[in-house]
Chains A and B, each alone.
Chain A
Amino acid sequence: EVHLVESGGGLVKPGGSLRLSCAASGFTFNDYYMNWVRQAPGKGLEWVSSITSGYSYIYYAESVKGRFTISRDNAKNSLYLQMNSLRADDTAIYYCARENLAAAAPWFDYWGQGTLVTVSS
């Protein structure tokens, strides 16, 4: 069974940094593209970043470009998001999401439960 478990969230001051992790199990991690998607309290979903299986391509939303860095360690079946220069509007639940491998379109077939990041002084 596929499991994605995020960790690393918490309370951080504006301008601070945080590193999120996502531990994957139940599938061959290095075959799959992975993503971070966030959801501000009471708001909609916002795609944050993607990384391909072989690290070939990395993409970011404009709202986080230059501040966030996505990475993965296929040997540890883990996905990461390094978040720097955090702002109040980065406050959200951050979900790790797997992209379906066989589809013609990129869609998310499994999601973690999320980890809450709160940016506040």
Chain B
Amino acid sequence: NFMLTQPHSVSESPGKTVTISCTRSSGSIASNYVQWYQQRPGSPPTTVIYEDSQRPSGVPDRFSGSIDSSSNSASLTISRLKTEDEADYFCQSYDSTSKVFGGGTKLTVL
């Protein structure tokens, strides 16, 4: 099995752009799609990115996802930050028999 490592926390100001990384410990990041979930306190997660870079309907285009094979990592980028984006963000991938989540990143918009 593999692990997904995320920074514990990031912070940025409203209106700016922030990028959260998710590094795969073994195996290629490109071999299995990566998803990103947003979780606000007291609520279940919601999907903001699936299949590396796809946005579910209703998710604003300020959210984008990508992968970088050279660093074996995926990234979630949020542009034009709003205070409502303050939340925990989790990456997720999978292999043939399991799903794996990253440890989560707390985004503070201050």
Closest to A113 in B: B44
A106 at the interface (CB under 8 A from B): yes
The answer to whether B98 touches A95 (Cβ under 8 A) is: no
CA distance A95 to B42 in the complex (A): 13
A110 CB to closest chain B CB, in angstroms? 9
Q: Which of A23-31, A41-49, A82-90 contacts B (4 or more CB under 8 A)?
A: A41-49
Q: Which of B16-24, B32-40, B75-83 contacts A (4 or more CB under 8 A)?
A: B32-40
A109 CB to closest chain B CB, in angstroms? 6
A104 at the interface (CB under 8 A from B): yes
The answer to whether B44 touches A114 (Cβ under 8 A) is: yes
Contact size range, A: 20 to 34
A21 at the interface (CB under 8 A from B): no
Instruction: For A107, give its contact among B50, B88, B97, B104 (CB under 8 Å).
Output: B50
B92 CB to closest chain A CB, in angstroms? 7
The answer to whether A107 touches B35 (Cβ under 8 A) is: yes
The answer to whether A105 touches B51 (Cβ under 8 A) is: yes
Instruction: For A111, give its contact among B35, B44, B51, B100 (CB under 8 Å).
Output: B44
Q: Which residues of B contact A105 (CB under 8 A)?
A: 32-33, 35, 50-51, 94
B63 at the interface (CB under 8 A from A): no
A55 at the interface (CB under 8 A from B): no
CA distance A112 to B45 in the complex (A): 9
The answer to whether B51 touches A108 (Cβ under 8 A) is: no
Q: Which residues of B contact A50 (CB under 8 A)?
A: 99
The answer to whether B44 touches A107 (Cβ under 8 A) is: no
B56 at the interface (CB under 8 A from A): yes
A-B contact pairs, 13 of them (CB 8 A): A44-B88, A44-B102, A45-B37, A45-B104, A46-B101, A47-B98, A59-B98, A100-B50, A105-B35, A108-B45, A109-B47, A111-B46, A112-B44
Residues on B close to A: CB < 8 A? 1, 32-33, 35, 37, 39, 44-47, 50-51, 56, 88, 90, 92, 94, 97-104
